[in-house]
Chains A and B, each alone.
Chain A
Amino acid sequence: KAGVTQTPRYLIKTRGQQVTLSCSPISGHRSVSWYQQTPGQGLQFLFEYFSETQRNKGNFPGRFSGRQFSNSRSEMNVSTLELGDSALYLCASSLGIDRVNYGYTFGSGTRLTVV
């Protein structure tokens, strides 16, 4: 079955602009999580959605937002981009129903560069 699909793979934006990243989870998975990966801070949790509801949010400013649609696809948005937002943004999907025996499957990520 198809894996987790993230689009676009690469993105270059200018400071002050906004950006939307997309994630399509594995079919049947209802949970989507987002992570930011940078060389300095490593992997940091952004937020998690399950059945269109945000269940948890990481310690990021309000410029970072997300949503999940009824088909479980998710988008994240970053407004007023800063240079420090340059990162690899990873999406992970899981069944999300039972913590035991579920695992997270990651997409290949979107590489965002802010200039």
Chain B
Amino acid sequence: AQSVTQPDIHITVSEGASLELRCNYSYGATPYLFWYVQSPGQGLQLLLKYFSGDTLVQGIKGFEAEFKRSQSSFNLRKPSVHWSDAAEYFCAVDGSNYQLIWGAGTKLIIKP
């Protein structure tokens, strides 16, 4: 069955430190993968997506993600976080039949 796992429910990072959020997927074919961010009470904003080609994908707000087929992973990274990055981050795979399958989300907390 198709699934997405985000093993970390919460992550706390100091402002200015680097960040890596983990995402593992289970999908039979070539996956189409996404990272979205959600601020409190808001909708979901697309950070980046992977369909094919270069396995290192650049997104908005200084985020990047690396697709590793051998590890079934699509981890999100940022070299230096800002207080405004505090939010919840969701990884998703485009499943069959026009739906996204979501991870449970990782809440990012920034320490001043």
Binding site for B on A (CB under 8 A): 4, 6, 31, 33, 35, 42-45, 48, 50, 55-56, 58, 90, 92, 96, 99-101, 103-109, 111
Cβ of B25 under 8 Å from chain A: no
Contact indicator A45/B94 (Cβ below 8 Å): no
A interface secondary structure, majority: strand
CB contact between A33 and one of B32, B51, B99, B103 (< 8 Å): that residue: B99
Contact indicator B94/A99 (Cβ below 8 Å): yes
Chain B positions within 8 Å of A55 at CB level = 97-98
Of chain A, the residue at the smallest CB distance from B103 is A42
Cβ of B102 under 8 Å from chain A: yes
Q: How large is the interface on B (under 10, 10 to 19, 20 to 34, 35 or more residues)?
A: 20 to 34
A56/B97 contact (C-beta < 8 A), A42-B102, A43-B90 known: yes
Chain B positions within 8 Å of A111 at CB level = 41
Binding site for A on B (CB under 8 A): 32, 34, 36, 41-46, 49, 51-52, 90, 92, 94, 97-105
Contact indicator A108/B43 (Cβ below 8 Å): yes
Q: How far is the CA of A6 from the CA of B45 in the complex (A)?
A: 15
Chain A positions within 8 Å of B52 at CB level = 100
A45/B105 contact (C-beta < 8 A), A99-B32, A101-B51, A106-B45 known: no
Q: How far is the CA of A58 from the CA of B103 in the complex (A)?
A: 16
Could you list 21 examples of A-B contacts with CB < 8 Å?
Answer: A4-B43, A33-B99, A43-B90, A43-B92, A43-B102, A48-B99, A50-B98, A55-B98, A56-B97, A90-B44, A99-B94, A100-B32, A100-B51, A103-B34, A103-B46, A104-B46, A106-B36, A106-B43, A106-B45, A108-B42, A108-B43
